Copies of this chain bind each other. A is one copy, B any other.
Amino acid sequence: MIRAGIVGATGYAGAELVRILTGHPEVDVTMLVSRQYSGVAFDTVYPAFKGVVDATCQALDVDRICDQTDVVFLALPHKIPMSIVPQLISRGKKVIDLSADFRIKDAAIYERHYQPHTAADLLSKAVYGLCEVFSEQIQAANLIGNPGCYPTSVLLPLIPLIQQNLIDIQSIIADAKSGVSGAGRSPSLGIHICEVSESFKAYKVASHRHNPEIDEVLSTVSSDPVHITFVPHLVPMNRGMLTTIYCTLSKDVDDQKIDNCLNSYYKDRNFVRVLSGDQLPETRFVRGTNFCDIGFRIDKQRLILISAIDNLVKGAAGQAVQNMNLMLGFDEVAGLDTMPYPV
């Protein structure tokens, strides 16, 4: 059994890692780290786990993490990971970082949108953990920058089409809608149920930090630099993300070509379901699972792609575990083949 540590175990992504890794057949969760709840039983913070997870949260101590784990999941706010990852890597640990610190290759772009990067030398060694696209590099990696939730929902439908030149890369617009758990667990007026429920809004319009992350990845799979227009919205629900993408079709591209492209790209992948016929994605169909569902429609020369993921699973903890599975040579679906809920 591999020994796994979860740092930031009491945030929503961290707790989701606890859920998934506790049920993983190849993993012993040997360490839960929480700066806020150090010394507190995990099932006091999340009483759902009473009788299921019997562990006490520990303070963040890199030496102890190195002693007690083989693979480390970091579910921390950006800036903290870059301060501890170098030591973890130098001690031979496999690291999967769910923050933005190791997602962006170009340190200048990172620094423009976040803050100075203190471990920029590791950026070239880090692999962007979009499993269906970069699986080969992931298998050889020691450090994964686990993709953001919005980028995952935008990139999976687009990359196959861009690689085959089926769409105009200057025309891409992504209108994304997320459940509120994506905002994290820290209290603020913005997550007050009375300010969120029975309402809908856009936020960080064309200024979200996931926009440069998306642009950089799309630019690597395209012949030219790509900038997409990206507008996130907040849905009054806990989990789930649905993204509607608009772009212009290349000449002579029809339904059939899009369908073939997506299906052939994803035909052997466990977690991408290309929908056909009347079906379109809904977030409830992927709730609690690592699936990304993709559907599309064509309106004259315009392609409309729709993707749905669970922002905490394929958009965070699930993809992180999928990355670990690839890195360690486990079955890609190990720990992730839980049943969906009908309601």
Contacts and interface: CB of A to CB of B under 8 A. Distances in A.
Interface of A: 12, 15-16, 18-20, 22-23, 46-52, 173, 175, 177, 179-181, 185, 187-189, 191-203, 205-207, 227, 229, 231, 233, 235-240, 242, 244, 246, 273, 275, 279-289, 291, 293, 297-300, 302, 304, 306, 312, 338-343
Number of copies: 4
A300 to B, nearest CB: 7
A339 B196 CA distance: 20
Nearest to A281: B201
A244 B273 contact: no
Contacts of A196: 193
A306 B204 CA distance: 13
B236 A237 contact: yes
Given A199-B284, A281-B201, A285-B50, A342 B23 contact: no
B16 A342 contact: yes
Given A340-B48, A341-B19, A282 B201 contact: yes
A188 B23 CA distance: 31
A193 B205 CA distance: 23
Given A48-B285, A189-B187, A233 B177 contact: yes
Nearest to A48: B340
Contact of A200 (B49, B202, B282, B297): B282
B244 A175 contact: yes
B180 A177 contact: no
Contacts of A229: 246, 299-300, 302, 304
A86 B185 CA distance: 42
A202 B52 contact: no
A240 to B, nearest CB: 6
Nearest to A51: B273
A198 B20 contact: no
A194 B343 contact: yes
B193 A283 contact: no
